[in-house]
Structure 1
Amino acid sequence: MRLLTLISLLLLSLLAQATVYKWVDKDGKVHYSDEPHPNAEIVELKEKTLNQITLPLVSADSNDSQVIEQIKYQVVITSPAEEETVRDNNGDFQVTATVTPEIKSQYLMALKLDGKTIGQPQIGGTFKLSNIDRGEHTIVVDAMTQNGKVFASSSPRKIFLHQAAMTPAPKKQPRSN
C-alpha cells in the first residue's frame, strides 16, 4: 500500500509541472498562462529561478557607538504626563518612553525614579513600577548603548502618586451635655 502511494505521488508530481505560455493580445499587452492560446509561444523557465538577496552583515561593535554619538537623539517620556496625578492604592503605574529619531541597532533603556535606577536596563521603553510610595516623584529615562554608555536622557518629569488612606479617619463622637 505504501509503495503504491509513493509511486502515485511521484507520478502526480511529474504531471504537476505545467507549461507556461506567453502571448500578446490585440492591444499589445503581454499575457502568461498555463493554457495554450492562439499565437502563444512556450516559455522556457530556468530550473533554479530563485530570488536571492544577500544582506550585509551587521556586527555589534564600536561602530554602532560611534554612529550613535554622531546623531543627536532625544528621549521623550510619553506617559505619565508632566505633573500628572497617578491614582493607585498599590503604588503601581507604568512609564513609557521613546527615542527619536528611530535607532536601527539595539539599545537599552534605564529608568531612574528620584535619582535611583530602578531595575536593570532593558530593551524597549515600557517600565512597570509597583509598590511605589505615595507622594511627589521625579522620573528620568536614559537611552544607552549595549556597553552601558548613556547617549541620551529625557528631561526630568515630575509626577504625583496618590494613594487613598488605608484606614478610615475616626468618626467624631457627639458631645453629651
Structure 2
Amino acid sequence: MGRPLLYLLLACFALPASAQIYKYTDANGNTAYSSQPPDGLPAQTVELPPLNSVETQKPGTPTPARPVAAQATGTQEAVAPYSALELTDIPTDEALRANNGTFTVGVKIEPRLQRQHLLRLVLDGAPYGQSSNVPRLQLVNVDRGDHTLAVQVLDGEKVVQQSPAVTFTVQRVHKP
C-alpha cells in the first residue's frame, strides 16, 4: 500500500500550481490524496507551498554573483566569471613548515569551475606546474624563504581571471 500512496503523492505534486488537492480517509481507513473531491466522503483541501523557480541567465551576464572585472577593454567591460577566487590553506602569519618543500594549497572558487576552464598556480610571478581542474594543487621542492602565490583560471592559454597574490614564507630543514 506504501508505493501506490507514494505514486499518488508524486502525481499530486506534478500537477499544475492551479490544481486543487484533496485529502480524505477512504472506506478502509487509509489516508488518500486526489485532484477530485471524493463522492460521499468528507475531504480537506491541501494548501501547497509555492513552487521553487530559478531564473535563467545568459552566460556572461553581470549579476551580484558575477561582478564586472575592473579591467576594461575599449568600450566593452570584461566580466569575471567567478565571484570568489582565492587560495586557502596557506599560513600568512607564520612560516609554512615543509621540510622537503612540498605542500598543497586549496582554491576557493564560486561558482564551480566551468568545464572548459583549468586552474594554474603562479609562484613568484611565473606560471607553476601543470594546469588542473581540481581545487587542490601541489607545489614540490619550493625553496625556503619568502614567496608569492596566486591562482589563475585558464581557458586554453588565455587567462580568464587571477586571484590576489598571497605572500608566505617556507621554512625547510637545511642540510649542508
CA distance in 2, matches of 1:135, 1:27: 77
**TM-score, scaled relative to structure 1:** 0.53
Root mean square deviation of aligned Cα? 3.2
**What CA deviation, in whole Å up to 9, does each residue of 1:21-49 have, x standing for no partner?**
99x44445249xxxxxxxxxxxxxxxxxx
Question: Does structure 1 residue 162 correspond to structure 2 residue 171?
Answer: yes
2:31: which partner in 1? 29
Aligned AA (2:96) = V
Q: Percent identity?
A: 25
2:102–2:139 CA contact under 8 A, matched in 1: yes
Alignment of 1:124-143 (within 5 A): 124-143=134-153
1:107: which partner in 2? 117
Question: Does structure 1 residue 97 correspond to structure 2 residue 107?
Answer: yes
Aligned residue pairs total 115
Q: CA deviation at 1:153?
A: 1.1
**TM-score, scaled relative to structure 2:** 0.53
Q: CA deviation at 1:83?
A: 4.5
Whose radius of gyration is greater, 1 or 2? Answer: 1
CA distance in 1, matches of 2:118, 2:28: 61
Range with bigger deviation, 152-161 or 119-128: 119-128
**What CA deviation, in whole Å up to 9, does each residue of 1:107-139 have, x standing for no partner?**
200001111111221111211111111000100
1:110–1:118 CA contact under 8 A, matched in 2: yes
